[in-house]
Structure 1
């Protein structure tokens, strides 16, 4: 099974790499006590310094809100502690890589990533990635930033190499903590646009199936609807436009697993158009005759990657707490692909019932 997409074998959910969560509920008889002292006594291997740093970074919540180190706990308080797992041994070399910066302030960057650009260095892509470009860009702004203090700088999630669209990066530790926690808690709004094979029977639906590495082909992932393997994953989809043999859909992620939309849509019989990992790079729907086959090949050439674009991303701003939402235009290759299908349907007089 050959694949053109070069992806790391080590792909995992970033937020689970960054955090593990501990929840503590305070007993009714608890005397008032500073939260830093309480956590040092309650959590194994915790020190006063580490606890205070976690509190200052916003990794300790009481009843859903950040607090100061001198906050005194009370009966019925719910304390949530996010333990930070730092990534060691990574070396990011700043490189001048073109970046399409959609929005930027002192805390965050929203980047509109083109298809074909790998997000971070890995064994198959040691350089020339988006993160290399971000490191270079930030160095131009602040010469105090060195290669030593750029380990996976500000990265709290990623999108696949051949997926286009919006992703957020943090520019300081507090922003990293806030955004990573929101991804961990599944409160980040992510809306994707995809062209999929086939004509879904329902106008909208939800796919609930664990996602884990394929048991035979280790570069692929697979859906496990019984939950016997992998990690829980939920995708909501809605039909936007029907073209008979293919359908334009929006997908909203409730979780963020590797290849989630691609795996879930393939699982329900609608692989992404031209997805060479999950069977979308061949004629899935439609009679195979010369003119139709030629049209599909032209479509593959127009959009030479899986047809998936991260159109929206929304979250609470790390500094202001305000809910923000960003939106991007579809990538040009997907716009051209969709227009090809609109013209084809119009010319052939195909209705959605003919799929």
Structure 2
């Protein structure tokens, strides 16, 4: 399967000299797996989030898997999350042997409807896993209170929310841990697979470090605990990400400018545009709009050489691979209705105003023709 990354070539052209220098610097050091580049990235990424620790791993899925394992989540446990997410969120829960329990979404933000969580808590519930989707944070204060009241841990899925904030607090630093993906499409993207988990709990940090390295303490080879795996973040991607981290705020500012132009240009078209909750600061990983004639709009926009994406067309609870979780069509009505109507417009920092104007013009004409 080929994945086209919007804006990738523009970003590479602009940052090529620095990126190639990062690769050359690591290669010349002769330290490709462990070493100072990984240490520096982990330090800088933790500091950016106001967290005490960061554990770099090989991808975002394993960032969640290792965090769940380190939090003690396993067979027989239940983890409350949403079905409107990328499948790896739920796959990670399944991989540690726990059971995902789904609640529906808010139909305006497409985020976890926190008001439904308490009713989903059972004697087996151990973890709440909010997904900060599309670049906006879940309503965390009531969720954190529920966790405290019921003695639950909170793991934030921040794969799509680099730099997003909730009431001034940054995504990933509000729960017990926050898991990140640096897949190339992300707001902070690597040039391949990469991930990380942040926490301010020293014991949790130590457990994740062992688990990413076969269950061994670094430097104490072959003294290991069960459940470990090989999930280390390599030095090349660590150094690339460390350098790109210095530009993360600029990426977000550019994305917000793109979002503002869409909001102005599409305000009266009949498209339901993204709603940013008043206390949130959106980082716009995706610009998700909604309309009942979604499929006709996507097809019509091909005439303007605009490819539109759907995130996500198939809620996880309706996928055949997860049918044994006991959910079916109709169980999460807001999630299922949104999946039939949402689609994403091109969103990346280097999207030129002239090209965006063409996209907006094409959408306006398409909407007028419906």
| TM superposition score category, shorter chain reference | under 0.3
Between structure 1 and structure 2, the one with the greater Rg is 1
| Structure with greater contact order relative to length (CA < 8 Å, sep ≥ 6) | 2
TM-score (normalised: structure 1): 0.26
TM-score (normalised: structure 2): 0.25
Q: Indicate the structure with greater strand content.
A: 1
